[in-house]
Amino acid sequence: MTGHQEDPRIVLERLIAERGESYSDISRLLNRNPAYIQQFIKRGTPRKLDEEDRRLLARYFGVADEMLGGSAPLGTSPAKLRSLPSVVSVPRLSLGASAGPGSLDEDERAAGLMAFDANWLRHLGVRPKKISIIRVDGESMAPTLSDGDEIMVNHDDDAGRLRDGVYVLRLDGVLMVKRVALGPRRGFFSVLSDNPHYPDWIDIDPALVMIVGRVVWTGRRLV
């Protein structure tokens, strides 16, 4: 590390503050214990970041690996230190949005983070602070969504921007993911299941439903 290079701990602390993250958030991003990053910054333990952790953080914050303690390639200029693409973290909530009988959303604490490319999210038309990842429970939205799928929910798309599409909503205190279809009766809409073996609710009074957000992306594990 050259004499003029800033301490990686100071750099990392500043990057975390600028992004509005917490030490525990970043620790979870690395699949480490919640105190890992705080101990590194405040206590100097470990003395250096693990190489894989350092590269992931550099990618996450969009900075050069050298800024976090790595070795810069020969000929690297300071102007290139922040030239890497940035990624942002999205909370993965520990609740399930029911696509079946329904599940109560009793625990909305973040169960972890998922990282996405910032430019891709802009292309998707969402704001990073207004999205979350939720797991689908049940098969009522098959084949569109399957049990265990991860869905990205855009919370900017609430009742004020309601249109036909797949939404996460609360009905009678139950969190569910369903298709919303606007009908001819002004202000009323239907809540539909893509799977014909599950029920629909036609022309629901909007006062009975809380729109959590619109589903804009889904991912699933191939088995």
pLDDT at 30 over 90: no
pLDDT at 133 (0 to 100): 92
Mean pLDDT of 11-33: 86
The H-assigned helical ranges of the chain are 8-19, 23-29, 36-43, 51-61, 118-124
The span from the CA of 16 to the CA of 13, in Å, is: 5
For 78-112, how does the pLDDT look when each residue is reduced to its tens digit (9 = 90+)? 444 444 456 787 888 766 665 665 544 444 556 67
Question: Is the pLDDT at 72 greater than 60, yes or no?
Answer: no
The whole-number average pLDDT for the span 208-223 is: 90
The rounded mean pLDDT for the chain is 82
Domains parsed from the chain with CATH numbers? 8-83 (1.10.260), 88-219 (2.10.109.10)
72-76, 171-175, 201-205, 214-218: range with highest mean pLDDT: 214-218
What pTM, to 2 d.p., does this model score? 0.63
Q: How many CB atoms lie within 10 A of CB 210?
A: 14
Classify the C-alpha dihedral 182-183-185-189 as positive or negative. Answer: negative
C-alpha neighbours within 13 Å on the C-beta side of residue 174: 12
- Highest mean pLDDT: which range of 35-39, 73-77, 82-86: 35-39
Q: Is the pLDDT of residue 21 over 70?
A: yes
Instruction: Determine what percent of the chain is predicted with pLDDT higher than 70.
Output: 82
Tens digit of each residue's pLDDT (9 = 90 or more) over 141-197: 999 999 999 999 999 998 888 999 999 999 888 889 999 999 887 778 999 999 999
For residues 12-31, average pLDDT: 85
Choose the weakest-confidence range: 22-26, 34-38, 40-44, 73-77.
73-77
pLDDT in the model for residue 3: 45
